[in-house]
Chain A
Amino acid sequence: MANNIEVGEIKYTPKDFASDQDVRWCPGCGDYAILAQVQRTFPKIPGIKRENIVWVSGIGCSSRFPYYMNTYGFHSIHGRAPAIATGIKISRPELQVWVATGDGDLLSIGGNHFIHACRRNVDIKIMLFNNRIYALTKGQYSPTSERGKITKTTPYGSIDYPFNAISLALGANATFVARSIDRDAKHLQSMILRAAQHKGTAFLEIYQNCNIFNDGAFRLLTDKETKEDHVLYLEHGKPMIFGKNKDKGIVLKGLEPVVVDLNDGKHTIDDVLVHDENDASLIRAFILSHLTDHPDFPTPVGVFRQLFQPTYDESLNQQIKDVTEKLGKGDLEKLLFSGNTWTVSDN
C-alpha cells in the first residue's frame, strides 16, 4: 500500500487499525469519514505502536468509535472520558491516549472534566465530533446547537446560547486547539497528525454531519459552491485569506477584525493578519475563535493555538522521580516502624 511508511521495525497500514467489529453508524454519517481519516493517519504517526494506543470514549453515537479501532479501547460512561483518559495517561505515561467524544458528552455532562483536562495540560488528545445535536438519544438540542433551533425538546425553538467549543478550550488554557471538518479529508488528516504530535492536551473539534437528526448543519462549510467563501484555513505564518479567488482577507483594526477585499485598491496582502499559532497572547486566538458562525466572517479551521508547556503527566512523574531520589525508594517496613514507636517485651 502506498501509505505504508517505515518506522523502526513496524509498518502499519490503515487496515491494521481497523477492528473486526462491524461499523454500525447510519449510512452517510460523518463519523465514517472521521474513522477513515484516523485509520489513514495513524500509520503516519512517528514511532507509533498499536499496543500503546488507547481510545477512550463516553456515550453517544460518536463514542462508539473505540470499538472500531484495533487498539486498546474503553467505551465508558456519559461525559467521563477525559477523566478516565487522565487516569490512564498519568499512571502510564508511555501510552498514547485519545478521547472520542460528542458535543453533549464533552460540553454538557462532561464539561467539568473537559475544562480541567485542558487546564492541567494532561497529554491526551480529545477529538470532539460536533454535530450540534444529541444523536444517540434521537435528536434533542445540544450545548452547541444554535439559538432558535427546533428539535424534539425545543419545539418552539431553543432559547439557549450555544458554547463555542474553541473559545471554551482556549479559555481553559488548552495548549493545542484546532478545528477541522469531516468532509475535508486532507485537512482532517493533517489536523489528526498535528494533534498526535502535540505534547499536552490537544483539542480537535471536528464538524460532523448527522444526516439523520441534524442534516446539513455545516452545509455552508462543505458545499462546493459556498465553502470557499465560508471557510478560512488557518496556516501558521500565512496571511488569512479566503474566497474562491483568494481575494478576501482578515484585517485587524485595533481589536476589531474586518473582512477586506484585496481587489478594492485600498488593501494589499500586506495588510492581512498573519496567523501565529504560537502567539502567547490569548486575545488574538479569541478574536479568531469568535469569527465562528458569524454572518460577516468565514469560519476558521486549522490550528488556532499551540503552546509548549510541561504536561501534567510529565510533571507528576518527574516529581515521583525527584522525591524518590531525595528520600530513597520507599521501604514499607521502615515506614511502619518510623516515628513515635515503643516496644513492649514479651512477658
Chain B
Amino acid sequence: MGNEKQTEEKQIREVTVRFAGDSGDGMQLTGTQFSNTTASLGNDLSTLPDYPAEIRAPAGTLYGVSGFQLHFSSSDIYTPGDKPDVLVAMNPAALKKNLPDLKPGAMIIVNTDSFDKKNLALAGFETNPLEDGTLDGFEVYEVPITTLTFNALEDVDLSTKEKARSKNFFALGLMYWLFERPLDTTINWLKEKFKNKPVLIEANEKALRAGYNFGDITERFTTRYKIEPAKLPGGTYRNISGNEATAWGFIAASVKSGLPLFLGSYPITPASEILQYLSKYKNFNVRTFQAEDEIAGITSAIGASFAGNLAITTTSGPGLALKTEAIGLAVMTELPLVIVDVQRGGPSTGLPTKTEQADLLQAIYGRNGEAPVGVVAAATPSDCFHMAIEASRLALEFMSPVILLTDGYLANGSEPWKIPHVDELPEIKVEFYKDAENFKPYARNENLVRPWVVPGTPNMEHRIGGLEKANITGNVSYDPENHHEMVKIRAQKIQNMQKVIPDLEVDGDQEGDLLVLGWGSTYGAIKEGVERARKRGYKVSQAHLKYLNPFPKNTGGVLAKFERILLPEVNMGQLAKILRSEFLHHGIIQFNLVRGLPFRSTEIEEKIIELFGGGNNGQ
C-alpha cells in the first residue's frame, strides 16, 4: 500500500458505539478505555456495560457475549444511546446478539478471524452472515483482527494464547483512529497497570498502535469522524461510575461529619464494587468489614453506629431482604445507618447483572411493624456521590436508618462529572451528647430526634434494644398508649426530614397538561425523551424525585398543577401506587417496562407523542 491514502473528515454531533465480544475478550476494559479517552477530550458521554452473569461462559456462545456501549457527543447527553451507530463484533455470537439493536445502516466492524465453522455454529448461524446478505444495508468492515494482532506482536516474547489476548487493543486502536482519539490515555494506563509485567505493556501498546495504523493505511477506511468537545460548564472533570461515586460520597460524608466510616457488607452483584473501592481507603480512617452474610453486614454496622461511626451497609435486592429485620432494629433503637440497595432484576436471584427499579416498595414498606425509614434515590452515576452524602446527612441528623437506592445501570454506567470542591459540599452536623445530668436516652429535640451518646462516655451508661421503649426514658415499656405514641413519633420524625430536603423542581412549564415524572435512573432517558418531544413541538414538563420517603413538601402541589402525569418505571408501577394513595391524583399514567434494561429515550419520546394523540399534535 504505497500511495498516500485520502481520508475525509466528517464532523458529527454524537455517536453511539458498542463493543461486543466473548466475555473473555476484554470488552469491558476496551469500553472503559475508550470512555476515559473520550471523556478527556471533553465530549459529554454516558456508558452502559452489559455483561453476562457467568464469569466465563463457554467461548463463542450467545449467552457469553459481553457488551459495552457508550454514547458521546459534542453537546449534553443523558443516556448511553438507544441504538448503536457502530458495532465492533469480535465474534459471530456478538454479531448475532447485537444486530437487532443497530440503527439502519450502522457501521459494523467484525473480526473475520473468528468467523469459522465452529463459531458460526455456536452463534446459530447456518450460513456465514458475511457472505449471505444478512448484513446488506450495513456498512461492514471485515478485519482479520486476530491475525493482524499476531503480526504486530511477532517479536514479542509471549505465547500465541497470550498474544491473542491483545486483540481487543487492536480493535481499540482502530476505533481511536476512526474517531480521532489520542492513544496516550490508554498507554499511560497500560504503563501503570502492568508496571510489574513490562511485556504486557509492550504487547498491548503494539496491538493498540497496529490497530490505529491499520485505520490510517487501509484503503477501505476512508472517513474519520470528528466530534467536537461538548460545551460543558467550566471546571475540572472526571469520568465516574455510579458505584465509584457512591463509595466516594460516603468518604465525603465521613469527612464532612467528622465521623469515621464503617462499612459492613457481603459481596453481591452489582454492589460489591462499593465494598471493593472502600476497602482501599484505609488512610481515610475507613473500616470495611466483609461479613459472613448480609445480616452480619448490617448488624455489624448497627454496632458501629451505636459506637459512634458513620455506619453503612451495601447490598442488592436479595441482600436487602435479608437485612429487613435488622433495619427494624435500627428504627427501634433510633440509630443512624445508611443502607445502599443497588437494585437488580428480581425476584430471587433474578437477573443479577441487569438493572431494575422494583425494590422501591421493599425499601419504603418492607418491614414488620410500623417501621418508617428515609428513602432516597440517585438519578445518574455521578449523582450517586451527592445522594450518598444526602443519605448520610439525613441518617446522622435524624438518628434514623436511610435507604439509598441506586441500580445496576447507575452502578456500572459512567459519565463525566464536574468535580466539586470539598468546601462546596454540604456540612453534616453531628454532636455526641455529653450532658450526664440531664441525659434521657429517648429525650427529643425539635425534630423528635433523640440524643446520641456513645459508649466510652462516663456516667451516661445506658441500654437500648429492640423492645418498645418508653418515650424520653428509653426504658422497656409494654404500655399500649406509649406504643401508639412511639409509633407516631417514629413516623413524624421521618416526616420531619422534609424540613431539610430540597423542593421538587419542574423543568419546563410549571403547570399544564403533561408532566413526565420519574425517580432513580430513568432520569437520563426521560430528560432526552422530553427534550426531543419538545423539539417536535410538544408542550411537556419534567420532574424527578430523588427523595422518596418523605417526598419533598411541595410534591402534592406540583402534581396537582398537571392534568396528566406520565410515570415511567422499570417496575410494575410501584411509585405510581404510592403517589395515587398519597396524593389522590387521577391522571397518573403508568409506563412500565421490566426487561432488565433502562428505558430508551425514544420510548419516552414516542409515549409522549402517543399521549398527545399521535404525530400531528405538535404546535
In the bound complex, do residue A344 and residue B234 qualify as a contact, i.e. CB atoms below 8 Å apart?
yes
Q: Which listed segment binds A: B127-135, B280-288, B501-509?
A: B280-288
Q: Which residue from chain B places its CB closest to the CB of A20 in the assembled complex?
A: B475
Interface size on B, residues (CB 8 A): 73
Which listed residue, A56, A67, A340, touches B39 by the CB 8 Å rule? A340
In the bound complex, do residue A342 and residue B236 qualify as a contact, i.e. CB atoms below 8 Å apart?
yes
Measured in the bound complex, the distance between the Cα atoms of B286 and A50 in whole Å is 27
Measured in the bound complex, the distance between the Cα atoms of B235 and A53 in whole Å is 50
Residues of B within 8 A of A77 (CB): 299, 325-326, 328-329, 466
- Asked whether any CB of chain A lies closer than 8 Å to the CB of B427, the reply is no
Chain B 459-478 interface 0/1 with A at a Cβ cutoff of 8 Å (1 = within): 11111111100000001100
In the bound complex, do residue A83 and residue B237 qualify as a contact, i.e. CB atoms below 8 Å apart?
no
Chain B 23-55 interface 0/1 with A at a Cβ cutoff of 8 Å (1 = within): 000000000000010011110000000000000
Q: Which residue from chain B places its CB closest to the CB of A342 in the assembled complex?
A: B40
Expressed in whole angstroms, the minimum distance between the Cβ of B36 and any Cβ of chain A is: 5
Chain A 327-347 interface 0/1 with B at a Cβ cutoff of 8 Å (1 = within): 111101101110111111111
Which listed residue, A49, A92, A319, A324, touches B308 by the CB 8 Å rule? A92
Given contacts A73-B462, A113-B292, is CB(A87)–CB(B304) below 8 Å? yes
Residues of A within 8 A of B587 (CB): none
In the bound complex, do residue B296 and residue A83 qualify as a contact, i.e. CB atoms below 8 Å apart?
yes
Measured in the bound complex, the distance between the Cα atoms of B36 and A340 in whole Å is 8
Chain A 111-141 interface 0/1 with B at a Cβ cutoff of 8 Å (1 = within): 0110010000000000000000000000000
Q: Give residues 256-310 of A contacting B (CB, 8 Å).
A: none
Count how many pairs of residues, one from A and one from B, have CB atoms less than 8 Å apart in the complex: 213
Q: Give residues 119-168 of A contacting B (CB, 8 Å).
A: none
- Asked whether any CB of chain A lies closer than 8 Å to the CB of B458, the reply is yes
Chain A 60-89 interface 0/1 with B at a Cβ cutoff of 8 Å (1 = within): 000000110111111111001001111111
- Asked whether any CB of chain B lies closer than 8 Å to the CB of A320, the reply is yes
Which listed residue, B255, B264, B295, B419, touches A337 by the CB 8 Å rule? B419
Residues of A within 8 A of B176 (CB): none
Given contacts A67-B476, A74-B463, is CB(A341)–CB(B237) below 8 Å? yes
Measured in the bound complex, the distance between the Cα atoms of B261 and A90 in whole Å is 12
- Asked whether any CB of chain B lies closer than 8 Å to the CB of A226, the reply is no
Q: Give residues 325-349 of B contacting A (CB, 8 Å).
A: 325-326, 328-329, 333
In the bound complex, do residue B283 and residue A330 qualify as a contact, i.e. CB atoms below 8 Å apart?
yes
Given contacts A77-B329, A112-B296, A336-B422, is CB(A330)–CB(B251) below 8 Å? yes
In the bound complex, do residue B251 and residue A87 qualify as a contact, i.e. CB atoms below 8 Å apart?
no
Q: Which residue from chain A places its CB closest to the CB of B328 in the assembled complex?
A: A77
Measured in the bound complex, the distance between the Cα atoms of B476 and A342 in whole Å is 57
Q: Give residues 285-330 of B contacting A (CB, 8 Å).
A: 285-287, 289, 291-293, 295-296, 299-309, 311, 325-326, 328-329
Expressed in whole angstroms, the minimum distance between the Cβ of A67 and any Cβ of chain B is: 5
Chain B 404-437 interface 0/1 with A at a Cβ cutoff of 8 Å (1 = within): 0000000000000001111000000000000000
Residues of B within 8 A of A319 (CB): 282
Residues of A within 8 A of B283 (CB): 320, 323-324, 326-330
- Asked whether any CB of chain B lies closer than 8 Å to the CB of A95, the reply is yes
- Asked whether any CB of chain B lies closer than 8 Å to the CB of A94, the reply is yes
Chain B 233-263 interface 0/1 with A at a Cβ cutoff of 8 Å (1 = within): 1111111000000001001100100001010
Residue in A51, A87, A324, A344 with the greatest tally of chain B CB atoms within 10 Å: A87
Residues of A within 8 A of B329 (CB): 76-77
Give the interface SS of chain A, mostly helix, strand, loop or mixed.
mixed
- Asked whether any CB of chain A lies closer than 8 Å to the CB of B456, the reply is yes
- Asked whether any CB of chain A lies closer than 8 Å to the CB of B617, the reply is no
In the bound complex, do residue A92 and residue B455 qualify as a contact, i.e. CB atoms below 8 Å apart?
yes
Q: Which residue from chain B places its CB closest to the CB of A54 in the assembled complex?
A: B455
Residue in B255, B283, B325, B467 with the greatest tally of chain A CB atoms within 10 Å: B283
Residues of A within 8 A of B301 (CB): 87
Residues of A within 8 A of B36 (CB): 340
Expressed in whole angstroms, the minimum distance between the Cβ of B460 and any Cβ of chain A is: 7
In the bound complex, do residue B455 and residue A333 qualify as a contact, i.e. CB atoms below 8 Å apart?
no
- Asked whether any CB of chain B lies closer than 8 Å to the CB of A190, the reply is no
In the bound complex, do residue A88 and residue B233 qualify as a contact, i.e. CB atoms below 8 Å apart?
no
- Asked whether any CB of chain B lies closer than 8 Å to the CB of A197, the reply is no
Which listed residue, B281, B286, B291, touches A83 by the CB 8 Å rule? B291
- Asked whether any CB of chain B lies closer than 8 Å to the CB of A245, the reply is no
Given contacts A73-B464, A92-B456, A329-B283, is CB(A343)–CB(B325) below 8 Å? no
- Asked whether any CB of chain A lies closer than 8 Å to the CB of B362, the reply is no
Q: Which residue from chain B places its CB closest to the CB of A82 in the assembled complex?
A: B296
In the bound complex, do residue B461 and residue A91 qualify as a contact, i.e. CB atoms below 8 Å apart?
no
Q: Give residues 504-518 of B contacting A (CB, 8 Å).
A: none
Q: What is the interface residue range for chain A against chain B?
A: 35 or more
Q: Give residues 25-72 of A contacting B (CB, 8 Å).
A: 49-56, 59, 66-67, 69-72
Measured in the bound complex, the distance between the Cα atoms of B36 and A207 in whole Å is 63
Q: Which residue from chain B places its CB closest to the CB of A63 in the assembled complex?
A: B465
Residues of B within 8 A of A324 (CB): 282-283, 285
In the bound complex, do residue B234 and residue A346 qualify as a contact, i.e. CB atoms below 8 Å apart?
yes
In the bound complex, do residue B465 and residue A80 qualify as a contact, i.e. CB atoms below 8 Å apart?
no
Q: Which residue from chain B places its CB closest to the CB of A91 in the assembled complex?
A: B304
Given contacts A328-B283, A340-B239, is CB(A73)–CB(B463) below 8 Å? yes
- Asked whether any CB of chain B lies closer than 8 Å to the CB of A19, the reply is yes
Measured in the bound complex, the distance between the Cα atoms of B295 and A77 in whole Å is 11
Measured in the bound complex, the distance between the Cα atoms of B260 and A294 in whole Å is 50
In the bound complex, do residue A72 and residue B462 qualify as a contact, i.e. CB atoms below 8 Å apart?
yes
Given contacts A77-B326, A343-B237, is CB(A316)–CB(B287) below 8 Å? yes
In the bound complex, do residue B284 and residue A330 qualify as a contact, i.e. CB atoms below 8 Å apart?
yes
In the bound complex, do residue B458 and residue A51 qualify as a contact, i.e. CB atoms below 8 Å apart?
yes
- Asked whether any CB of chain A lies closer than 8 Å to the CB of B561, the reply is no
Measured in the bound complex, the distance between the Cα atoms of B232 and A83 in whole Å is 47
Q: Which residue from chain B places its CB closest to the CB of A81 in the assembled complex?
A: B299
Given contacts A51-B459, A75-B463, is CB(A87)–CB(B299) below 8 Å? yes
Which listed residue, B248, B252, B303, B421, touches A74 by the CB 8 Å rule? B303
Residues of A within 8 A of B580 (CB): none
Residues of A within 8 A of B305 (CB): 87
Residues of B within 8 A of A320 (CB): 282-283, 285, 287
Measured in the bound complex, the distance between the Cα atoms of B260 and A146 in whole Å is 46
Q: Give residues 211-263 of A contacting B (CB, 8 Å).
A: none
- Asked whether any CB of chain A lies closer than 8 Å to the CB of B457, the reply is yes
- Asked whether any CB of chain A lies closer than 8 Å to the CB of B595, the reply is no
In the bound complex, do residue B463 and residue A67 qualify as a contact, i.e. CB atoms below 8 Å apart?
yes
Given contacts A51-B458, A67-B463, A342-B39, is CB(A87)–CB(B236) below 8 Å? no
Given contacts A91-B260, A336-B420, is CB(A83)–CB(B457) below 8 Å? no
Measured in the bound complex, the distance between the Cα atoms of B476 and A19 in whole Å is 13
Q: List 27 A-B contacts (CB under 8 A).
A: A21-B475, A53-B461, A70-B461, A75-B467, A77-B328, A77-B329, A84-B306, A86-B296, A87-B301, A88-B304, A88-B455, A91-B308, A91-B311, A92-B308, A92-B455, A95-B307, A95-B455, A316-B289, A323-B282, A324-B282, A329-B283, A332-B255, A335-B251, A337-B236, A341-B419, A344-B236, A347-B231
Q: What is A's interface to B at a CB cutoff of 8 Å? A: 19, 21, 49-56, 59, 66-67, 69-77, 80, 83-92, 94-95, 112-113, 116, 316, 319-320, 323-324, 326-330, 332-333, 335-337, 339-347
Q: What is B's interface to A at a CB cutoff of 8 Å? A: 36, 39-42, 185, 229, 231-239, 248, 251-252, 255, 260, 262, 264, 281-287, 289, 291-293, 295-296, 299-309, 311, 325-326, 328-329, 333, 419-422, 454-467, 475-476
Q: Which 6 A-B pairs have the closest CB atoms?
A: A87-B303, A75-B465, A346-B234, A330-B284, A87-B300, A73-B463
Q: A53-B461, A55-B463, A84-B306 are in contact. List 7 more A-B contacts (CB 8 A).
A: A59-B466, A67-B476, A77-B325, A92-B455, A92-B456, A95-B456, A116-B292
